[in-house]
Amino acid sequence: MPLSIGIVGLPNVGKSTLFKALTNKQVDIQNYPFTTIDPNVGVVAVPDERVDALALMSNSKKKIYTTIDFFDIAGLVKGAAQGEGLGNKFLANIREVDAIAHVVRVFEDPAPSLSADRQSASPADQGRAWGGASIIHHIYNRVDPADDIEIIQTELGLADLQTKEKRNEKKDKNLPPLELLTDKKVIFVFNASEAQLASGWKPDEKLLKAIGDRDYVVLSTPLELLLSESTADEKKEYLTEFGIKEAGLDQLIKKAYKTLGLVTFLTTGEDESRAWTAHIGDPIPKASRAIHTDFEKLFIRAEVINWKTLLEAGGYVPARSKGLLRTVGRDYIIQEGDVVEIKI
C-alpha cells in the first residue's frame, strides 16, 4: 500500500533541506513498477535489517523494502485558509497525504548551514563546522516553536470549517465522510542547531503542551543532508561525534510507520526478500492484498514463522523439519515480523 507523508511548516524552517536529504535516500523505482515520481515527491525506503538478514539466508537476487512517499508541500503562512501565500496549493496538496511531518524551527539565527570549508574537511572536522555563511531569519522575526505550531493548527482548523460549510451547502446525505485536515496524524520534526543537537536538546514544557501526545524527532537538517550524501563509514563517524545513535531521518521514517498504525510482514526466496505493509489487526487474507490483490479472495491457508525463528533454524527446510512453521487460516491476524508463504 502506498503511504504518503506531507512535509509542512512555515517558510524558512528547513523543509527544503529536509526534503533534499530525503530524496538523496530515494529508492530505485525500477523495483516498484507502479510508482511514478513528481519533482516534489521522494519515495524513501523504510530501513529494515530483517530484509537484509533474510536475503543473506535465502541468497536472494533482490532486496525490496517498504516505502513512504514524502511530499514537499509549499510553506504555510497566516491566512493560508483564505488563500494567502501559496495557501490554496498547500491545502490542496495536504489533503492527499496520510500523515503530516510538521517541521518546526527551534534554532536561533544564524541558521545551521554548512560552510564551503566543511564540505572539503575531514569527517571529524566537518562535524564541528556549521558555517553560518547565510542567516535565515524567521518569517515573523522571532523563534517561538509553540506559536508556530499554533499558526499551522489554526489554519488547518479554518480550512476544515470551510470544508464543512461547503459540504452543508450541498445537502446530500449520500456523500462520503469528510477527510478533515485536523484529523490527520502528525509527527513533529524539531530542526535544531549543531550546538542544540550536541547538547541533547529536548522540547520544554510549553512545547510539549503544544504537541500533546504526538510523536516528535529532533534533528539538524544540514547534518541530515550531509549524512545522506556520506558513505556508511563516514555516516558512522558523524553520528559518533554528535553522540547520536541513529540519523534523524531514519527515526522519522520509523516513527511515521508507527504513527500510521502499520506492521511489516515479509516474504523470502531466491528471487527476492521483501517487506510488505499491513495495518495492525489485519487478518492475513487482507494483508496478503499487498502481495497481490487476488490473494484476499483466493486465500486458502498460509505458512507463518517469525523472522528470527526462521533465521535461527537456518531456512525453510530445517524449520519445516523441526515443526516450526505454523499453518494458519483466514482468521489469523498478521503480526509484526511474520514471514509468510500464501497458499491459494
Tens digits of per-residue pLDDT, 118-144? 444 444 344 434 333 344 555 566 788
> SS3 for 44?
strand
Length reported for the chain = 344
Say if residue 35 is in the same domain as residue 89.
yes
Same domain, 118 and 180: yes
Residues 248 and 296 in one domain: no
- Residues 43-47: what's their mean pLDDT? 82
- Residue 264 covered by a domain: no
Q: Which of 149-163, 271-285, 291-305 has the lowest mean pLDDT?
A: 149-163
Task: State the Cα–Cα distance between residues 341 and 344, nearest whole angstrom.
Answer: 10
60 within domain boundaries: no
How many CB atoms are located within 10 Å of the residue 102 CB? 25
Do residues 236 and 137 share a domain? yes
Same domain for 126 and 221?
yes
| pTM (predicted TM-score) | 0.78
Q: What is the mean pLDDT of residues 304-320?
A: 96
Judge if 128 and 249 occupy the same domain: yes
Q: How far apart are CA 192 and CA 199, in angstroms?
A: 11
Q: Are residues 238 and 334 in the same domain?
A: no
pLDDT tens digits, 244-275 = 888 998 899 888 888 889 999 999 999 999 99
Q: Which three cell numbers stand for residue 232?
A: 556508511
Q: Helix, strand, or coil here: 146?
A: helix
> For residue 306, which of 327, 337, 334 has the smallest C-alpha distance?
337
CA 234, distance to chain mean position in Å, is 23
Residues 18 and 162 in one domain: yes
List the grid coordinates of 319: 524449520
User: Peptide bond preceding 283: is omega within 30 degrees of 0, i.e. cis?
Assistant: no
Range of the domain at 291: 281-343
Give the span between the Cα atoms of 7 and 16, in whole angstroms.
9
Residues 169 and 246 in one domain: yes
CATH number of the domain at 297, please: 3.10.20.30
Exposure of 106 in the CB half-sphere (CA atoms within 13 A): 26
Q: Same domain, yes or no, for 204 and 319?
A: no
Question: Are 127 and 177 members of one domain?
Answer: yes
Range of weakest confidence among 152-156, 223-227, 310-314: 152-156
What is the domain-level CATH number for residue 21?
3.40.50.300
Domain count, the chain: 2
- Could you tell me if residue 58 is inside a domain? no
- Other Cβ atoms closer than 10 A to 212: 9
Q: Are residues 230 and 292 in the same domain?
A: no
